[in-house]
């Protein structure tokens, strides 16, 4: 078919977290440049199933760049060659006929491989459960809306809350640090009046859980910001550090 592409795919296959994995070569033909990257993988899996072979496991959900589930490293970059998009928003027109594409999962101790390209990211959920919420009574909607909040604070909180928890920041970091994710979740509450009562308890509990789960330290290479599909700023990491330092000064005690 004119304009369509033939591609060579080098895909990481691994049966489970304890199995030995490796790259396996697949060839796909007549791929439309208008297909999304995930649709291309769907086509491959349909061909494998027809042949009675095990399809490639990969994660996805909304396919609209909202949920963050489509966690793939493509040619060495989380979510592929474009800036500020998720894998499901990547289309095959950004590749050329005859290209070889390397596809692998997130690489982090805290994200163990479940199968093939699917990793277990429940560590992020555990960090949120440790303190990424507001539990105090803020009253009804009219009461909450009666609290005056500056435009700057609203914009800062909204920008931080745009984080979809995909884990690209961890995959991009040479230390597999979760600092950008945690800082975004801390920042979205730290600048708002509703987040003040649990402010110091929150940051200590989330950082403690992050360290317990085996994420690495931040060394300010800015790779996390560069690969974040939502453009979360590393300024949030600076805010996280300030919040944590202030919490220690306040001598807040957080139970395990």
For the chain, give every domain's residue range: 5-115, 121-249
Average pLDDT, the chain: 94
Residue 250: pLDDT band (50, 70, 90) is: confident
Residue 136: pLDDT band (50, 70, 90) is: confident
The answer to whether residues 169 and 181 touch, using CB atoms and an 8 Å cutoff, is: yes
| The two structure tokens encoding residue 55 | 């399809």
Question: What pLDDT score was predicted for residue 138?
Answer: 64
Which run of H or of E encompasses 201?
helix 199-212
165-224: pLDDT as tens digits: 999 999 999 999 999 999 999 999 999 998 999 999 999 999 999 999 999 999 999 999
Q: Return the CATH number of 121-249, one of 3.30.450.30, 3.30.499.10, 3.40.50.720, 1.10.1060.10.
A: 1.10.1060.10
Instruction: Kindly provide the b/e burial profile for residues 174-213, where b requires at least 16 CB atoms within 10 angstroms of the residue's own CB.
Output: eebbbbbbbbbbbbbbbbbeebeebbbbbbbbbbbbbeeb
Q: What is 5-115's CATH topology?
A: Ubiquitin-like (UB roll) (3.10.20)
Can you tell me the mean pLDDT for 15-34?
Answer: 96
Question: What pLDDT score was predicted for residue 153?
Answer: 95
Question: What pLDDT score was predicted for residue 256?
Answer: 42
Instruction: Kindly provide the b/e burial profile for residues 18-37, where b requires at least 16 CB atoms within 10 angstroms of the residue's own CB.
Output: eeebeeeebebeebbeebbb
- Greater confidence, 147 or 192? 192
Confirm whether 5-115 and 121-249 share one CATH topology. no
Question: What pLDDT score was predicted for residue 253?
Answer: 54
Q: How far apart are CA 206 and CA 129, in angstroms?
A: 8
The answer on pLDDT for 155 being more than 90 is yes
């Amino acid at each position: 078919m004119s304009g369509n592409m033939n591609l060579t795919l080098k895909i990481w296959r691994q049966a489970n977290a304890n199995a030995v994995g490796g790259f396996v070569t697949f060839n796909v033909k007549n791929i439309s440049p208008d297909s999304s990257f995930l649709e291309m993988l769907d086509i491959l899996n349909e061909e494998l199933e027809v042949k009675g072979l095990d399809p490639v496991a990969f994660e996805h959900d909304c396919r609209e760049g909202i949920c963050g589930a489509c966690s793939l490293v493509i040619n060495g970059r989380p979510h592929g060659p474009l800036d500020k998009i998720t894998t499901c928003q990547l289309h095959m027109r950004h590749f050329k006929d005859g290209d070889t594409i390397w596809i692998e999962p997130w690489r982090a101790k805290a994200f163990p491989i479940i199968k093939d390209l699917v990793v277990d990211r429940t560590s992020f959920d555990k960090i949120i459960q440790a303190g990424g919420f507001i539990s105090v009574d803020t009253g009804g909607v009219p009461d909450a809306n009666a609290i005056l909040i500056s435009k700057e604070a609203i914009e800062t909180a909204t920008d931080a809350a745009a984080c979809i928890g995909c884990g690209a920041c961890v995959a991009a970091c040479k230390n597999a640090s979760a600092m950008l994710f945690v800082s975004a979740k801390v920042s979205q509450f730290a600048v708002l009046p509703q987040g003040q009562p649990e402010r110091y308890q929150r940051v200590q509990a989330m950082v403690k859980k992050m360290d317990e789960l085996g994420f690495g330290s931040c060394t300010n290479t800015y790779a996390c910001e560069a690969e974040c599909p939502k453009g979360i700023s590393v300024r949030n990491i600076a805010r996280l550090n300030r919040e944590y330092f202030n919490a220690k000064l306040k001598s807040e005690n957080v139970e395990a």
